[in-house]
Amino acid sequence: MYLACCGSGEPILFIHGMPTSSRLWSGIIERLCGRYTCFAIDLPGLGKTPRARYGPDYLRDLAEQIETLRIKHNIAKWHIVGHDAGSVVAVHYARYFQQHVDCMALLSPSLFPELKPYYLLAPLRKPILGEVLAPLVQAVFWKIAMRCALGDEENGDEIVEDFHAPFSGLAGPWQFMNVMRWGKPAQLLADVPEFLPHLRMPTLIFHGSRDAAIPEAFALRATSLIPNSSMLTLDSGHFIPLHQPELVATNLARFFGSQSTQNTAMMPA
């Protein structure tokens, strides 16, 4: 699993969603790396990490890979930040390794089994139809849908190209199709509502007021289920880390600073 790292201070792990990469967090990390050690992973099949097979234990496997990274970098506890599907990975890591999570932040959390995959990508998830339509769907998604979702974002074309990089080349459309066949939310996320009340770390949940992908009801429900949590609504679309990096960075620093414990530190080498 590819891991980028910069800065110094208390450690933070950033987990992007689908189909983005660790580049999602660049604007936030550059604002926080003066005070924090910022780690950002690329999930399997995205960014610079090779694709992994999906299966019933996929989310636990990801949590265990992240735990391996924590141990490798001699971290006792770290803050965990996830966006979209990265929020799913974040809460599963917190579920299995709660003792190593200081604070958690979830942006546009797609946590619940009622989640509906983006309509444009739905055909890719169907056998045969997905194989036939993959080139067309990929072209429309990256050239039109993603560019519209970013709006007038500075360097928007460059960001889209970075996210699209793993799916370039002749086989790209079908590689994209395989990543989008990540499983059925009704099955993969079925137990999330049951274990969220057992997560005790302080948690901050962000919702974008113009988010067309993840409903506000998901953020409200997560806030109601996670005991020590609060919710913050920002003027943003779905890609909160790109639309509002200054506000996100400021609120994360304030939140971590107010909740920080003496246990958030690097383990001695």
Question: Residue range 193-218: average pLDDT?
Answer: 96
Where do we find the tokens 């990469």? 21
Whether the upstream peptide bond of residue 215 has omega within 30° of 0, thus cis, is no
Q: Could you give the CA distance from residue 15 to residue 78 in angstroms, rounded to a whole number? A: 13
Where do we find the tokens 């969220």? 196
- Say if residue 5's pLDDT is above 60: yes
Question: Residue range 55-76: average pLDDT?
Answer: 94
Query: Coil, strand or helix: which one is 198?
Result: helix
* pLDDT tens digits, one per residue of 8-47: 999 999 999 999 999 999 999 999 999 999 999 999 999 9
Q: Distance of alpha carbon 157 from its chain centroid, rounded?
A: 21
Mean pLDDT of the chain: 92
Question: Could you count the other beta carbons within 10 Å of the beta carbon of residue 1?
Answer: 16
Q: Is 233 left (phi over 0), alpha (psi -120 to 50) or beta?
A: beta
Residues 28, 252: contact at Cβ < 8 Å? Answer: yes
| Residue spans per domain, the chain | 3-116+185-259
Q: Which residues pair with 20 in a beta bridge?
A: none
- Say if residue 262's pLDDT is above 60: no
152-161 long-range contacts, CB within 8 A, separation 24+: 153/239, 153/242, 153/243, 159/23, 159/242
Share of the chain above pLDDT 90, in %: 83
* Amino acid (1-letter code) at residue 38: C
CATH 1.20.1250.20 holds for 3-116+185-259: no
